[in-house]
Structure 1
């Protein structure tokens, strides 16, 4: 597939940052499991990856705005376009030597996500989409799953940790969902959860309390793969609210009803 100039810039930046992170990941696997030592190392890896991405994207498109996990927001000369970046989604996995984390880059135009790239360096899987051009993994077109029955479907989510206040809601969700589906997975990277829904590996995904950079690239990839994406509040905005429910079309209504309670 031949993408737009912007998409090609995004892919180049994601791969370059991914190579640097993969090198750091080989180091982190060898670190003593000292929280401070490893944590400091990972934050350096994170910040280093963000700098690589920023240099690539802003070097190519200096007038665009910028929003990223480490570096915050900055207005661009062009107020209609901005990059939304998570240089390392799945930091806790990275810190523990678990090979499930990704680089996530999205392009927003006039409040709408128009392109997204999610790159998993450890498996060399590059998920990407542009508005109206379908969703892809490497050279292959991807589609959401074709399952029609909840009992055959598996779903992904995040589980609240370290005293976050949404644990009761999540436990209620699981209490309603687990008896009627084939399983729920918690793999620790919202970006890859969304990419996996787009690729038909998961049948749906829901989570609360996310940031726009966790979601932006994945949302367009799921939509272009034929999936339905909404905020938990049906009238809400996924990126503003930081809450999402998505699935293939046949099971979306039933799944959304369960997790919305």
Structure 2
């Protein structure tokens, strides 16, 4: 089964609608006392590093309900819930209802709602509601495969100013001692926002160590639409990203570099042999 233009357009519209829904729910919740819990670490130990709010769960529940009605034969992979309504479907919706939850529950305006759609492992649509943007307001960055990058329906063309000699890079560790000296390091606390900001030209490059698919699926579609490059770290070094493979995307976790092609090539070169994976995620198909 392939996606024709009409089906892709319908998916793209729904992705924008669902990202906007996430944004409205987050905006409405700001200023209220939220119920917050913390997920256990990988070994089951107590940790305060991975919070989840009542809004995370409520938004994912709402989005799942809409998708079940509109696309009952599509699978859904979400951060907060384990249900897979159509496991094995070639089309998978990857949802992160609140990306940057620690920022959100503290009222720090750097959080997002991310909706990505994969078809046979390839990102074909993405919509990311961001609490801030190049337009200095909240809104949805969105794109479908083969199309341009948009922000709330208006095309976005990233401006490149050659007078800026040191640009911004998004790094998990934003300390000057760890980030490459070619970029002024920034850490937003949200992979989805960093993908959107790369696509919009606010960050030149970003690196993620072991993201989950729901963190980046929507953002990958945005970066590709903006003409950016994506590379992942595989057994033979840094590879140009083609897809998450045709296996279960829930198992995919690899280091990622994305951004302007020249910047991606340089950051991967600087990373070198020190970044060889010790096990990594599943191989690409």
Residue 137 in structure 1 maps to residue 139 in structure 2 = no
| Aligned residue in 2 for 1:245 | 257
Measured after TM superposition, the shift of residue 15 of structure 1 is: 1.4
Instruction: Tell me how far apart the structure 2 counterparts of residues 61 and 179 of structure 1 sit (CA, whole Å).
Output: 46
TM-score, normalization by structure 2: 0.75
Measured after TM superposition, the shift of residue 78 of structure 1 is: 6.9
Please show how residues 88-237 of structure 1 align to structure 2 within 5 Å. 88-121=98-131, 123-144=137-158, 146=160, 151-159=165-173, 175=177, 177-181=179-183, 183-233=184-234, 234-235=238-239
Instruction: Tell me how far apart the structure 2 counterparts of residues 177 and 151 of structure 1 sit (CA, whole Å).
Output: 16
Instruction: Tell me how far apart the structure 2 counterparts of residues 49 and 191 of structure 1 sit (CA, whole Å).
Output: 16
| Aligned residue in 1 for 2:45 | none
| Aligned residue in 2 for 1:163 | none
Work out whether residues 229 and 240 of structure 2, in 8 Å CA contact, stay in contact via their aligned partners in 1. Answer: no
> Unmatched 5+ residue regions in structure 1?
32-36, 160-169
| Aligned residue in 1 for 2:277 | none
Instruction: Tell me how far apart the structure 1 counterparts of residues 200 and 240 of structure 2 sit (CA, whole Å).
Output: 25
**Aligned to 2:128, what secondary structure does the other structure show?**
strand
Work out whether residues 97 and 114 of structure 2, in 8 Å CA contact, stay in contact via their aligned partners in 1. Answer: yes
| Aligned residue in 1 for 2:28 | 23
Structure 1 residues 250 and 126: alpha-carbon distance in aligned structure 2, compared to 1, 3 A threshold: same
| Aligned residue in 2 for 1:52 | 62
Measured after TM superposition, the shift of residue 4 of structure 1 is: 1.1
Residue 259 in structure 1 maps to residue 271 in structure 2 = yes
- RMSD between aligned alpha carbons? 2.8
Instruction: Tell me how far apart the structure 2 counterparts of residues 144 and 124 of structure 1 sit (CA, whole Å).
Output: 18
Instruction: Tell me how far apart the structure 2 counterparts of residues 88 and 186 of structure 1 sit (CA, whole Å).
Output: 17
Work out whether residues 129 and 135 of structure 1, in 8 Å CA contact, stay in contact via their aligned partners in 2. Answer: yes
Structure 1 residues 113 and 48: alpha-carbon distance in aligned structure 2, compared to 1, 3 A threshold: same
Structure 1 residues 68 and 26: alpha-carbon distance in aligned structure 2, compared to 1, 3 A threshold: same
Q: Give the number of aligned pairs.
A: 240
Please show how residues 72-87 of structure 1 align to structure 2 within 5 Å. 72-76=82-86, 79-87=89-97
Instruction: Tell me how far apart the structure 1 counterparts of residues 138 and 177 of structure 2 sit (CA, whole Å).
Output: 35
| Aligned residue in 2 for 1:71 | 81
Work out whether residues 106 and 113 of structure 1, in 8 Å CA contact, stay in contact via their aligned partners in 2. Answer: yes
Higher helix share: 1
Instruction: Tell me how far apart the structure 2 counterparts of residues 97 and 219 of structure 1 sit (CA, whole Å).
Output: 26
Work out whether residues 230 and 240 of structure 2, in 8 Å CA contact, stay in contact via their aligned partners in 1. Answer: no
